[in-house]
Amino acid sequence: MEKLIKGLHHVTSMAADAKENNRFFTKTLGLRRVKKTVNFDSPEVYHLYYGDEIGTPGSVMTYFPFGPMPRGKRGVGEVGITEFAVPEGTLGFWQQHLVEKNVSGLREETFLGERRLAFDGPDGDSFALVEADPAGRTAWSGDGIGRDEAIVGFHGARFRLRDAAATGELLQFMGYELDETDGAVTRYRIEGGNAARTIDLEERPNADHANQGAGSVHHIAFAVEDRAAQLKVREALMDTGYQVTPVIDRDYFWAIYFRTPGGVIFEVATNEPGFDRDEDTASLGEALKLPERYRPYREQIEKRLPEIA
């Protein structure tokens, strides 16, 4: 599947409280809510999408806020850290900003030559801001965060795995190249795609498996340009023995899913048609958008969903 994968498309996680989730990603991290819709399999739960101005693939963090639920327990077999890119020289700003917003788990680190600031999300989610070249990406300047400091999209993600070998092989099959290694972490990088290009595999042979819950990443999605590319990727994966779902219409992209050897659920999602297919860019994410099959039930659905502003 030479050059078909273009980096990350989105990362989807689980949250407890919808209002708190919305507040954190828009007010604390300054992302734009680019879509307010529902979980297509259970419309009493929101599906909230946060990203840059238009929800460019490679910038989109999405959540299912399920309501009161236990927190996930970190372990192997999952995405351990979701990493956002910020412009070089801005970690000082972010440190101060996140302290002011009472964000927990703040620690500055250097890893593979990159300056990072780790922090926790509202449900104990593991995040890091990584200083990187913004490389032509345009940020959304949200609440109190100027364009010169704002998050420009994902940098990448770190998986924690008991055995990283098979997942490393899969990433290479998907077009990623083996990059640097630091201790137990091996970096894979994809060139020629969007800027959300690194996947780090951290091997922990003796760690317990993760228990998914609030704050856990549910799945991670990789970008392809269009449906033709997606079908080629699907065929290549199936030829290699992966069990891949049929193509599913997610209204803003088409999706296929498969489980990887290390336990992480992968999605491959199209860059088309995008989040502006049913709303103007100026008002993106404001109105509740429903997939066609739920539209007759809008009134009942709206009554059951919490107010999130």
Footprint on this chain of Zn ion (rule: CB under 5 A): 12, 221, 267
Nearer to Zn ion, 12 or 186 (CB): 12
Nearer to Zn ion, 259 or 298 (CB): 259
Question: Least distance in Å: CB of 57 to Zn ion?
Answer: 11
Cβ burial, residue 189 (10 Å; 0-12/13-18/19+) = middle
Question: Least distance in Å: CB of 250 to Zn ion?
Answer: 7
Question: Least distance in Å: CB of 255 to Zn ion?
Answer: 6
Question: Least distance in Å: CB of 191 to Zn ion?
Answer: 24
- Give the separation between CA 117 and CA 221, rounded to whole angstroms: 23
Nearer to Zn ion, 117 or 268 (CB): 268
Give the residues across from 98 on adjacent strands: none
Give, in order, the Cα–Cα distances in Å from 258 to each of 43, 91, 207, 220: 23, 36, 24, 10
Nearer to Zn ion, 52 or 267 (CB): 267
Element at 20 (helix H, strand E): helix 18-23
Question: Least distance in Å: CB of 283 to Zn ion?
Answer: 23
- Residues 6 or more apart in contact with residue 106 via CB below 8 angstroms: 95, 98, 99, 117, 118, 119
Nearer to Zn ion, 134 or 153 (CB): 153
Nearer to Zn ion, 29 or 221 (CB): 221
Question: What is the bridge-based pairing of β-strands 32-39 and 42-51?
Answer: antiparallel
Question: Least distance in Å: CB of 308 to Zn ion?
Answer: 20
Task: List the structure tokens of 86.
Answer: 């910020």
Whether 262 and 205 have beta carbons less than 8 Å apart is answered as no
